[in-house]
Amino acid sequence: MKYPALLLVFFLSFFGQAQEIQILSVTDSLPVPFSTLIVKNKLISFGKTADDKGKVRFQGSEGDSSLYTLIAQAVGFEKFTKEVTGIDLNHTRKIYLKSISALSEVVVTSQYVPTRVEQSVQKIQVIDKEKIQQMGAVNLKDVLSNQLNVRLQQDNILGSGMSLQGISGENIKILMDGVPVIGRLNGNIDLSQINLNNVERIEFIEGPLSVQYGSNALAGTINIITKNPTTKKIIVGLTTYYESIGTYNINADVTSYLKKHQIQVSGGRNYFDGWNPGQKAFYLSKSHIADSSRFKQWKPKEQYFFNLGYQYSFRKLNLGFKSTYFDEQIINRGYPRAPYAESAFDDYYNTKRIDNHIFLNGKITQRWSVNALTAYNYYSRIKKTVYKDLTTLEEVLSENSNDQDTSNFTLFMSRASFTHVRDSSKLNYELGYDINYESALGKRIDHQLQYMGDYAAFATLEYKPISSLVIKPGLRYSYNTAYNTPLTPLLNIKYAVNSRHTFRASYARGFRAPSLKELYFVFVDINHNIVGNRELKSEQSNNYTVSYNYRTTVNSCRFKFDANVFYNDIFNLITLAQTSATQYSYINVGKYKTMGIQLGTTMKWKRLTLQTGVNYTGRYNQLSESESVPTFNYSPEAQINPSYKFIKQKITLSLFYKYNGKLPGYVLVDNTVKQSSISDYHLLDATVSKLFFADRVSLSIGCKNIGDVKNLNSNLASGGGAHSASSSTVPFSTGRNYFIKLSFNFSQQ
Amino acid sequence: MMRLLVILMITVLFYSCQKKELPAPAFDRGDVITTQVDMGSTYKDQIWYSLSENRIVSTNHKTDWDLAFECSVSGNHIFLNGSKSMKVYKTTSTDLSSVNDTTGLEANSKADTPSGKQDSTAIGSWMDSNTVYIINRGFSETGQQQGYVKMMITSVSATQFLMEYGDVFGTQTLQGVIHKNEDYNFVMFSFTTNQSLVIEPKKTEYDLCFTVYTHFFTNPFQYYQVTGVLQNHYHTRVIRIRDKPFADIGINDTLGRPSSTDRNAIGYDWKTFSLTTNLFTINPAYCYIINDAKGYYYKLHFIDFYNTSGIKGFPKFEFKKL
């Protein structure tokens, strides 16, 4: 023991009297629960965690007039340091913490403990509640439309997919509070099924996180963090949202906090009545004769969702569960059939997601923290086709074998990580396991039902040889019941020259496990013979990233600059190929690479926030292996997001602009190489928000897609000039539309 | 203000219901005969149909037969059952017992030309160089492989064909006798029952056969099973009309237009399969005039490929005697 006096103080504390200190937030004077207080003087130094009221007690003796230093810390707040003289046993001393500005948020994904963005070893972007609100974003697709390095694709039956750093959606992991979202159709998760009504922030990580999160976390990880616990007794919220293309959404939530218990209930309904190019804005749907107008390019859609959350806080731990129920119905009304337009085939697609998880996180001891999750996710998608007589409107369930289809996926997962963190220590580390047991049920799966179990252990450590340098290596080992898993390494380095300049470098191995479909697919009929391959290995990638971050404050202007260079090298790409004269199967043959550079700035000056960014991404051209065409096809993107606040009037004006450059490509047509491209487009949204009635009512009015982008042209340019160019269009967006969003929020202390 | 906002909210809440459709008017078809035939949703059946009698003459399961032998006195052509995707490979061997595996079959096998031209059969002119054929018996409608047979024609006369055959992997050699009958275009033979049998009705008794058959796609070359209509070999002709609505077609449209005796002159392309909707769509512009063996003209077009329960494999057509 360095300080025998410390022991003495603790000993005395059982008998002495207590000084009470309460830690509060400066913005709303609400207590900051579970914040940390460090008390120091010449002799002693000890830390204590506040209770749920933000209160800390420590013992002292009457008449002590020595100089103490109080240091208060809490996630999301700036560090508070104050020197006080003596101990006042009769009064509660109050400490007010300033919350950290939007320029520096707190993140949890792949962190040992909640960490401020700029301190994370891994580069993480945060899309906060404010941006979601200002964009009028309803679901994940809406908010990602403004994200650099993200390209969205639209399929009006399968939903919205994305690619990141030029890598397709099957290599992107989407997490909801750390729990993987399941239900991949053709590898993609439908982003429009992930509603943001209950979301606090989105943590967006480019590059692999396969060590911690396993399969699919190869191109990047999106972790959606639902709303934080609150300390208000009760909060009731109600939001309605209308879009001129025929979207009517409503949702409500209730949060209640009783001592150590907290309950959240929310639910809602989203309805979209379908849209065709050429449809007028503010078109009100009404009953219509069942003619060709019944067919919609964008299908009518109805979603119901319900969330329930409970959290119990004890000691320094949080224990709780979250349940989500989601139901979506898409109606694809068929075009009246030739020649007499008297009948049509209508498809109904019903998707259900039921996700439940329990969690335990927090500090077990002063040094050890735990972050544990156990989840069971259920996904089902039922396609139902009916034959509809349009003259009588009678429906008959179609009996064709391919018209009725059910896919079920389930995932049981359990992940826990134990982290050893001591601020003063040069070496902190994390040990964890990740168990995933999934099933797939579908018509074209061998024996209709297949299972796959994945049992993984991982470890990372953070080594700080000097205070400005962090070296974080990691390793994941796993055993999979279906295929041989690779050993996955990781190395992150962060070097903070000073408070302004930070460099980061990383090498990470990412992987994507072969899906149950790729392993067990069976589709054999008179014209087809496609089977899965049980010998498949996982797709793997090497990712190299280097980034530089500069931040400064000049007068009242805060400025941040980021530069980021990445290179992804994917090998053992799973490709559908002809494996014999008559049979097709999946094999690990392909390779794919992407690389890019990204620059971004954020400036915050008084009431103005301006965020800009550009990137330039190269996507590997697989034809370059056999033909003389460039190895990479490059495409630019740019982003400008200004926002201005009128403080007194409580009005915020925001603009969201993103330019997506032309996507060039090469295709082989009749054995000759031809250039192809998907046209470029500009996405611009503008929003005005205002708060009324003591901030209880918020109103946003805006225009989305001002550039009126509807379909994207996909051109096949002529090769030698002699052949005619062919082109097609892909639906991308519903064109320019106007929205109004109205929220009511009532709370009681 | 608050009141206005609440009203706005309630409007959003209550406006958002799925609107009911109103019935569409029925189409006036005029004076035509409408017929629908049932091939089964897996297209398992072959349906032989007569226009003049508006009747199905006979129906058989497509796996009932393997080879069709030409029945005319001088006939020596042999056709495969294309509805099963049968293929044949002509080996260079002249000894049936020396052929014991299917080597070369996958790479070199052929199917009959979809037009049914006698000079373009897969078996070809066996009389010039008589060797052993390895036959892939194709697939049932459920994708079940039907086996492999080796076969050699021993003789043909004005009254019968003689052949030797057996399972490629077996040791047994069987003799097949197929008696010609001039009332028919073809007499069939089945390697399942080892018997010749009558499947196709008498050549004067039917006009159209609804069946699966093997089509050749080019670019790249590919055999593909399609579902459609083959016409009678015997004195039936088809005029394809794509430039006139069905209602306006009259007897004058038989003049100045080429007619075809190809068995797939009607074929399968009166409907199109869409990979995006997974549905067959009728092409309303595809109309036909059929000149039957008795010399009558009929105009015909297809109006559906589904029954009223939405099951595919139910070609529905309208026709009228001109």
How is B311-322 classified by DSSP, letter by letter? -EEEEEEEEEE-
CA distances in angstroms from A251 to A141, A237, A265, A657, A714, listed in the order given: 18, 8, 11, 28, 38
Longest distance between any two alpha carbons in chain A, whole Å? 99
Which residues in B lie closer than 8 A to residue A389 (C-beta atoms)? Answer: 308
Say what the pLDDT of residue A575 is.
82
Residues B261, B118: contact at Cβ < 8 Å? no
Report d(CA A387, CA A393) in Å as an integer: 10
Task: Say how many Å lie between the first and final Cα of chain B, rounded.
Answer: 75
Task: Say how many Å lie between the first and final Cα of chain A, rounded.
Answer: 45
Across chain B, mean pLDDT equals 90
In terms of C-beta density within 10 A (0-12 exposed, 13-18 middle, 19 or more buried), how is residue B98 classed? Answer: exposed
- In 3D, which of A141, A152, A311 has the Cα closest to residue A226? A311
- In 3D, which of A487, A592, A579 has the Cα closest to residue A533? A579
Say what the pLDDT of residue A15 is.
44
- Chain A within 8 Å of B29 (Cβ-Cβ)? yes
pLDDT confidence tier of residue A521, bands split at 50, 70 and 90: confident
- In 3D, which of A649, A638, A736 has the Cα closest to residue A686? A736
Closest approach of B78 to chain A, Cα-based (Å)? 23
Which residues in A390-481 belong to E strands, given as ranges? Answer: 394-397, 405-420, 427-441, 449-463, 469-480
Closest approach of B183 to chain A, Cα-based (Å)? 33
Which residues in B lie closer than 8 A to residue A402 (C-beta atoms)? Answer: 278
Rounded mean pLDDT, A604-610: 89
pLDDT confidence tier of residue A1, bands split at 50, 70 and 90: very low
Cα of B59 vs its chain's centroid, Å:
13
Chosen for mutation from A249, A400, A578 (greatest number of chain B CBs closer than 10 Å) is A400
Report d(CA A52, CA A314) in Å as an integer: 9
Closest approach of A731 to chain B, Cα-based (Å)? 13
Given the DSSP bridges, would you call strands B160-167 and A159-164 parallel, antiparallel or unpaired?
A: unpaired
Residues B241, B300: contact at Cβ < 8 Å? no
- Chain A within 8 Å of B306 (Cβ-Cβ)? yes
| Tokens 């690389």 sit on residue | A595
How crowded is residue B239: how many other Cβ atoms within 10 Å of its Cβ? 21
pLDDT confidence tier of residue A666, bands split at 50, 70 and 90: confident
- Evaluate the omega torsion of the peptide bond into residue A31 and state whether it is cis, within 30 degrees of 0: no
pLDDT digits (tens, 9 = 90+) for B209-226: 999 999 988 877 888 899
Residues A352, A380: contact at Cβ < 8 Å? yes
- Chain A within 8 Å of B73 (Cβ-Cβ)? no
> What is the number of H-type helices and E-type strands within chain A?
5, 47
Say what the pLDDT of residue A86 is.
73
Task: Identify the closest residue of chain A to B84 by CA–CA distance.
Answer: A526
CA distances in angstroms from B52 to A161, A250, A356, A690, B47, listed in the order given: 56, 64, 67, 78, 16
Report d(CA A57, CA A277) in Å as an integer: 65
DSSP state of A12: H
Contact B26 A391 (CB under 8 A): yes
Contact B225 A271 (CB under 8 A): no
Rounded mean pLDDT, A381-404: 87
Say what the pLDDT of residue A386 is.
92
Rounded mean pLDDT, A209-225: 91
Cα radius of gyration (chain B): 25
pLDDT digits (tens, 9 = 90+) for A18-62: 778 888 876 666 777 777 888 887 777 778 878 777 888 877 666
Say what the pLDDT of residue A137 is.
93
Rounded mean pLDDT, A700-725: 72
Given the DSSP bridges, would you call strands A529-531 and A584-605 parallel, antiparallel or unpaired?
A: parallel
Of A391, A399, A693, the CB nearest to B309: A399
Closest approach of A656 to chain B, Cα-based (Å)? 26
Across chain A, mean pLDDT equals 86
Say what the pLDDT of residue B174 is.
93
Of A300, A343, A399, the CB nearest to B18: A300
Of A273, A387, A393, the CB nearest to B310: A387
CA distances in angstroms from A501 to A3, A118, B84, listed in the order given: 37, 11, 72
Say what the pLDDT of residue B234 is.
82
Report d(CA A353, CA A174) in Å as an integer: 15
pLDDT confidence tier of residue A94, bands split at 50, 70 and 90: confident
Which residues in A lie closer than 8 A to residue B304 (C-beta atoms)? Answer: 337
In three-state secondary structure terms, B7 is helix
Query: Which range has the worst mean pLDDT, A384-388, A422-426, B178-182?
Result: A422-426
Say what the pLDDT of residue A280 is.
79
- In 3D, which of A292, A351, A311 has the Cα closest to residue A327? A351
pLDDT confidence tier of residue A6, bands split at 50, 70 and 90: very low
Contact A341 B27 (CB under 8 A): yes
Higher pLDDT, A241 or B276: A241
> Which H helix or E strand runs over A737?
strand A737-748
Is pLDDT of A545 > 90? yes
CA distances in angstroms from A221 to A104, A107, A180, A225, listed in the order given: 20, 13, 10, 13
pLDDT confidence tier of residue A230, bands split at 50, 70 and 90: low
Query: Which range has the worst mean pLDDT, A215-219, A225-229, A542-546, B259-263?
Result: A225-229
- Chain B within 8 Å of A14 (Cβ-Cβ)? no
Which residues in B23-118 belong to E strands, given as ranges? Answer: 33-36, 45-50, 55-61, 67-70, 78-80, 87-90
Rounded mean pLDDT, A471-480: 93
Global pTM value: 0.81
Contact B13 A401 (CB under 8 A): no
Closest approach of A645 to chain B, Cα-based (Å)? 22
pLDDT digits (tens, 9 = 90+) for B73-114: 999 999 999 999 999 999 999 999 998 888 888 888 999 999
- Please identify among residues 534-593 of chain A the ones whose CB lies closer than 8 Å to any CB of chain B: 581-582
| Tokens 């090498």 sit on residue | A507
Report d(CA B241, CA B244) in Å as an integer: 7
Which residues in A497-583 belong to E strands, given as ranges? Answer: 501-512, 522-524, 529-531, 539-554, 557-578
Query: Which range has the worst mean pLDDT, A2-11, A218-227, A738-747?
Result: A2-11
Say what the pLDDT of residue A5 is.
44
Given the DSSP bridges, would you call strands B160-167 and B174-179 parallel, antiparallel or unpaired?
A: antiparallel
Closest approach of B138 to chain A, Cα-based (Å)? 9
Residues A510, A219: contact at Cβ < 8 Å? yes
CA distances in angstroms from A406 to A379, A412, A515, listed in the order given: 11, 20, 17
Is pLDDT of A206 > 60? yes
Is pLDDT of A731 > 90? no
Is pLDDT of B29 > 50? yes
Is pLDDT of A718 > 50? no
Enumerate residues 6+ apart whose C-beta is below 8 A from A586: A514, A518, A521, A532, A533, A536, A574, A575, A576, A577
> Which H helix or E strand runs over A610?
strand A608-620
pLDDT confidence tier of residue A63, bands split at 50, 70 and 90: low
Say what the pLDDT of residue A102 is.
43
Chain length of chain A: 749
Is pLDDT of B18 > 80? no
Q: Number of CB pairs < 8 Å for A and B?
A: 136
- In 3D, which of A36, A30, A48, A18 has the Cα closest to residue A80? A36
Say what the pLDDT of residue A4 is.
45
Torsion, CA A326, CA A385, CA A301, CA A146, rounded to 10:
90
Residues B314, B246: contact at Cβ < 8 Å? no
Rounded mean pLDDT, A222-246: 86
How crowded is residue A286: how many other Cβ atoms within 10 Å of its Cβ? 7
Higher pLDDT, A162 or B1: A162
> Which H helix or E strand runs over A130?
helix A129-135
pLDDT confidence tier of residue B14, bands split at 50, 70 and 90: low
Rounded mean pLDDT, B279-301: 92
Say what the pLDDT of residue A62 is.
63
- Chain B within 8 Å of A339 (Cβ-Cβ)? yes
Which ranges in chain B belong to alpha helices (H)?
Answer: 2-15, 105-108
ipTM exceeding cut-off 0.85 for this assembly: no
In three-state secondary structure terms, A292 is helix
What percent of chain A has pLDDT above 90?
46
In terms of C-beta density within 10 A (0-12 exposed, 13-18 middle, 19 or more buried), how is residue A229 classed? Answer: middle
Say what the pLDDT of residue A266 is.
94
Angle at B209 between CA B36 and CA B156, to 5 degrees: 165
Given the DSSP bridges, would you call strands A234-243 and A737-748 parallel, antiparallel or unpaired?
A: antiparallel
